[in-house]
Amino acid sequence: MTTHKLMLLPGDGIGPEIMAEVTKVIAWTERAFDVTFDVSSGLVGGCAYDAEGVPLSDETLAAAKACDAIIMGAVGGPKWDGVDYDKRPEAGLLRLRKELDAFANLRPAICFDALADASSLKREFVAGLDLLFVRELSSGVYFGEPRGIETLDDGSRVGINTQRYTEAEIERIAHVGFQMAQKRGGRVASAEKSNVMEAGLLWREVVTEVHQDHYSDVELTHILADNCAMQLVKNPKQFDVILTDNLFGDLLSDEAAMLTGSLGMLPSASLGNGEMPGLYEPVHGSAPDIAGEGIANPIAAILSFAMALRYSLNMGGAATAVEAAVDRVLADNVRTSDIWAEGTMRVTTSQMGDAILKKLDDN
Ligand code: NAD
The DSSP code sequence of 258-291 is: HHTS-GGG-EEEEE-SSSS-EEEEESS---TTTT
Nearest to 223 by CA among 30, 215, 236, 214: 236
Say if residue 206 is exposed, middle or buried (CB neighbours under 10 Å; 0-12, 13-18, 19+).
buried
pLDDT at 143: 87
Q: Whose CA is nearest to atom 12 of ligand 1?
A: 287
pLDDT at 296: 97
Among residues 50, 130, 226, 354, the one annotated as catalytic is: 226
The answer to whether residues 9 and 75 touch, using CB atoms and an 8 Å cutoff, is no
Q: Whose CA is nearest to atom 16 of ligand 1?
A: 264
Q: Whose CA is nearest to atom 36 of ligand 1?
A: 285
pLDDT at 3: 96
pLDDT at 361: 93
Ordered by where they begin, the domains of the chain are 1-105+266-363 (3.40.718.10), 130-258 (3.40.718.10)
pLDDT at 84: 92
Rg (the chain; Cα; Å):
21
Active-site residue, 193 included: yes
Active-site residue, 130 included: no
Q: How far is the CA of 128 from the centre of ligand 1 (A)?
A: 26
Q: Is 296 in the pocket of ligand 1 (CB under 6 A)?
A: yes
List beta partners, residue 40: 7
pLDDT at 31: 96
Q: How many helices (H) and strands (E) does the chain have?
A: 12, 14
Q: How far is the CA of 38 from the centre of ligand 1 (A)?
A: 29
Count CB atoms within 10 A of the CB of residue 45: 30
Active-site residue, 142 included: yes
Of 9, 80, 286, 346, the residue with max ligand 1 atoms within 8 A of its CB, to mutate for a pocket test, comes to 286
List beta partners, residue 8: 41, 71
* Helix (H/G/I), strand (E/B), else coil: 135: strand
The DSSP line for 209-258 is HHHHHH-TTSEEEEEEHHHHHHHHHH-GGG-SEEEE-HHHHHHHHHHHHH
Index of the ligand 1 atom closest to the CA of residue 45: 40
pLDDT at 298: 98
Q: What is the pLDDT along the chain (363 residues), one digit of tens a residue?
A: 899 999 999 999 999 999 999 999 999 999 999 999 999 999 999 999 999 999 999 999 999 999 999 999 999 999 999 999 889 999 999 899 889 999 999 999 999 888 998 888 999 999 989 999 999 999 999 889 999 999 999 999 999 999 999 999 999 999 999 999 998 999 999 999 999 999 999 999 999 999 999 999 999 999 999 999 999 999 999 999 999 999 999 999 989 888 887 789 999 999 998 889 999 999 999 999 999 999 999 999 999 999 999 999 999 999 999 999 999 999 999 999 999 989 999 999 999 999 999 999 997
Index of the ligand 1 atom closest to the CA of residue 11: 40
217-249: burial string, b at 16+ Cβ within 10 Å, e else: ebebebbbbeebbebbeeebeebbbbbbbbbbb
Active-site residue, 250 included: yes
List beta partners, residue 38: 5
Q: How far is the CA of 188 from the centre of ligand 1 (A)?
A: 30
Say if residue 130 is exposed, middle or buried (CB neighbours under 10 Å; 0-12, 13-18, 19+).
middle
